[in-house]
A and B are shown apart, each in its own frame.
Chain A
Amino acid sequence: MRLHIKFSHRIVRNPIISQVVLATKAPINILRARIDHNGGEMLLEVPDEFCKEVKKEFERYGVEVQEVKSVVEHNTDLCVDCGLCVSICPTSAFSFDTDFKLKLHEDRCVQCGLCVTSCPHGALSLVTI
């Protein structure tokens, strides 16, 4: 499962991720991170069985945690099923189904945003969480 975490600038310098990993022993994978003067946010991949615990642990440090379901929005009205995004995505999150329609495998997306800027029809956007 993916978790989106958000923390204020006051705790940016604390080694929270490490503390959470040590406390929960969860193998956490950081997919994306952004930190600026307002604080930071991260997209984490956490095995389902650890999710609850990890969430609780983060919240103890004052970190906001949200479960992420959809990460890139695919507007099928705008999409023409060209498939240009297929070879762009580093995690092969797109494929064609048997009717040559574009299929998005959301679970593979790491929100890099490459497909969003490459789609000629503006059919893809990152879900801002």
Chain B
Amino acid sequence: MKTIEEINQKIREGNVCVVRADEMPEIVEELGAEEAAKEVDIVTTGTFGAMCSSGVFLNFGHAEPPIKMQRIWLNDVEAYTGVAAVDAYIGATQLSETRGMEYGGAHVIEDLVLRKSVELRATAYGTDCYPRKEIRTTITIEDLNQAIMVNPRNAYQRYNAATNSTDRTLYTYMGTLLPRFGNVTFSGAGALSPLNNDPEYRTIGIGTRIFLCGARGYVIGEGTQHSPKNHFGTLMVCGNLKEMSPKFLDAATFPKYGTSLYVGIGIPIPILDADMARKTAIKDEDIKVNILDYGIASRNRPVIRTVSYAELKSGKVEINGEEVPVSPLSSYRTALEIADELKKWIERGEFFLSAPVERLPRDREFRPMKHERGVLVRDVMTSPAVTVSADANIKDVAKLIVTSGINHLPVVRNGILVGIVTSFDIAKAVAGGVEGSVEKVMTKNVVTAIPDEGIESAARKMEQHDISALPVITSGRKVIGIVTTEDISKLVGRRYS
């Protein structure tokens, strides 16, 4: 058992033992977890990939006369200003209003790090304390009071791979996906990724000091969509943009999708005991993800198959008996460089470990969005419907129509739909002296609806067939209700009036 303080003391004394995460499996295999935990003090991890959920808080200082910025653009990319007068948040995926997808928030952030000048444009409504209504100027990162990167969701523990079953090319945040399972793309550094080396979040928590794009940064909490139950943990991180290096931060454009920021993150894992040694000995073979079909534009994309990071990194996977080429989205070369760099910082005594002040939640699950489902036929239908038996007498049906005031009567035999009659059909029969059962005059080809059908679809059917009611039936053609144009227009009136 070691404490973080003991490890920091070793860093101070210059005799700390740091190894890269990809070296751990061999060390643990050779020495055993107990011995490895005695030998190794810190394991460094790294990942460098597209992390869309990234951005920077900027403070511009006050103009003379001052302005309360209501909307602001940096190189024509809008930043969020609903936070005080001269603060703004520029998000990586916001697109330029003049250049579109080729330039976005990620590029503004990169240009700031590259010390390039950026055009600032802001508008305001003007107040007694902030009279100015417009400003246009040029700034560099040095002119900003603060430029603090705060990324709501970074460093995904693992991420499902992508492929495409359709016969057209898809342009996604997972890159270009070629038709008919033409390729597979995946994200993340596998066994080198930070969270895979501490899957129970024993040492990574709120306040953990990390490597963030070449600067010192911190974990400030669980990331959004943190879903530890199924090993899809994420981190929210922050760091000073002014200290970051363009080597470990890179703007990207995914064709026909938009912009994203490649973020470099490295986290030191203290080897407190044999358990941590064992955890950091994780291999790519042990990390499994699904290959999802992005051809289905749903949040529940079908799983094509399950693979390990080792298979993905081999460059080829088999799908339906065919070998499919695989591409990473993240740079493993840079991920290794980050783990090496962090190792150097620690060995040189420039970086100390910090114990988390709070652990990350381990019981969360990512839930889908709750949104209003469209109105369904079941919501507006009249149920149960008044029906008549196929052998009912026409005269009796005429009476029923007069007393009930109903215009559409589904005709059933043993509860199963066999036809429909309208008040007009019956009136015509009576006037023409037709006698006998209702079967003689009913319409046999009935246009129907099901309870889970949207009302738009039901309305379209009635319009197409020029009718004003649809029996609502089960899959066994049992009549459970009836929906009329009146029911739908009543609802539309209520919703839009």
Contact = CB atoms under 8 A, between A and B. Distances in A.
A in complex with B: yes
Nearest to A100: B333
A82 B176 contact: no
B331 interface: yes
Q: Give the size range of A's interface with the partner.
A: 20 to 34
Interface in A22-74: none
Interface stretch (B28-36, B247-255, B341-349, B369-377): B247-255
Nearest to A97: B333
Contact of B254 (A81, A87, A96, A120): A120
Contacts of A87: 178, 182-185, 315, 324-327
A92 B254 CA distance: 21
Contacts of B253: 120, 122
- Give the interface SS of chain B, mostly helix, strand, loop or mixed: strand
B334 A84 contact: no
A121 B254 CA distance: 8
Contact of B328 (A82, A114, A117): A82
B333 A84 contact: no
B417 to A, nearest CB: 53
A115 B332 CA distance: 19
Nearest to A115: B176
Nearest to B251: A121
Classify the secondary structure of A's interface with B: loop
Given A92-B325, A120-B252, A120-B260, A83 B175 contact: no
A96 B316 CA distance: 13
Nearest to B184: A87
A96 B315 CA distance: 10
A86 interface: yes
Interface in B305-340: 315, 324-334, 336
B255 A80 contact: no
Contact of A118 (B176, B250, B331, B333): B176
Contact of B252 (A88, A101, A121): A121
Interface in B46-62: 48-50
Interface string B216-259: 00000000000000000000000000000000001011110000
A85 interface: yes
B1 to A, nearest CB: 36
B137 to A, nearest CB: 28
Contact of A88 (B50, B183, B324): B183
Contacts of A118: 175-176, 255
Interface string A88-129: 100010011001110000000000001001101110000000
Nearest to A94: B327
Interface residues of B, number: 30
A128 B5 CA distance: 60
A101 B327 contact: no
Closest 9 CB pairs of A and B: A87-B183, A87-B327, A120-B252, A87-B325, A100-B333, A81-B333, A118-B176, A80-B331, A83-B328
Interface of B: 48-50, 175-176, 178, 182-185, 250, 252-255, 260, 262, 315, 324-334, 336
A81 B335 CA distance: 10
Given A81-B333, A100-B336, A120 B327 contact: no
Nearest to A82: B331
6 contacts: A80-B262, A84-B328, A84-B329, A99-B333, A120-B175, A120-B329
A36 B233 CA distance: 54
B178 A82 contact: no
Contacts of B254: 120
A63 B333 CA distance: 45
A83 B327 contact: yes
A88 B262 contact: no
Of the listed residues B183, B262, B331, B334, the one surrounded by the most CB atoms of chain A closer than 10 A to its CB is: B331
A86 B183 CA distance: 10
Which of A95, A100, A122 has the most C-beta atoms of chain B within 10 angstroms of its own C-beta?
A100
A81 B50 CA distance: 13
A113 B281 CA distance: 41
A118 B327 CA distance: 12
A117 B336 CA distance: 27
Nearest to A101: B333
A118 B172 CA distance: 11
B336 A85 contact: no
A53 B351 CA distance: 66
A48 B260 CA distance: 44
A85 B250 contact: no
A4 B127 CA distance: 66
A100 B330 CA distance: 11
Contacts of A114: 176
B326 A81 contact: no
A121 to B, nearest CB: 6
A86 B178 contact: no
Contacts of B175: 84, 88, 118, 120
Contacts of A122: 253
